[in-house]
């Protein structure tokens, strides 16, 4: 792999769906007639995807590596 090239190292895809059943107690459980007293709905959420990319770069120079993070604040008091 050369400097500046991007590499995909992994990913996760997630799909989620849910089925909801609402019914009137007892009447919804009657064989053959129960469907008259209950309703079904399905909820499908959009797919979610996480992909991890790496783009390496070579550090040049012999000096110490500089942090890009700001220094932590000192406690007051």
Domain ranges for the chain, please list them: 7-54
Q: What percentage of the chain has pLDDT greater than the value 70?
A: 79
Three-state SS for 37?
Answer: helix
pLDDT computed for residue 58 by the predictor: 80
pLDDT computed for residue 4 by the predictor: 81
Please say if the pLDDT value at position 70 is more than 70.
no
Whether the CB-CB separation of 54 and 7 falls below 8 Å is answered with: yes
How much is the average pLDDT of 11-29? 92
More confident residue, 71 or 46: 46
Whether the CB-CB separation of 40 and 18 falls below 8 Å is answered with: no
Q: With 0.85 as the threshold, say if the pTM is over it.
A: no
- Collect all residues with Cβ–Cβ distance below 8 Å to 1 and sequence separation of at least 6: 7, 56
Separation between Cα atoms, residue 73 and residue 77, nearest integer Å: 12
Please say if the pLDDT value at position 77 is more than 80.
no
């Amino acid at each position: 792999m050369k400097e500046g090239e991007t590499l995909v190292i992994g990913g996760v895809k997630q799909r989620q769906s849910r089925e909801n059943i609402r019914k009137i107690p007892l009447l919804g459980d009657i064989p053959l007639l129960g469907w008259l007293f209950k309703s079904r709905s399905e909820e499908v959420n959009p797919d979610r995807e996480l992909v991890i990319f790496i783009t390496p770069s070579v550090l040049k120079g012999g000096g110490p590596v500089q942090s890009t993070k700001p220094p932590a604040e000192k406690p007051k008091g």
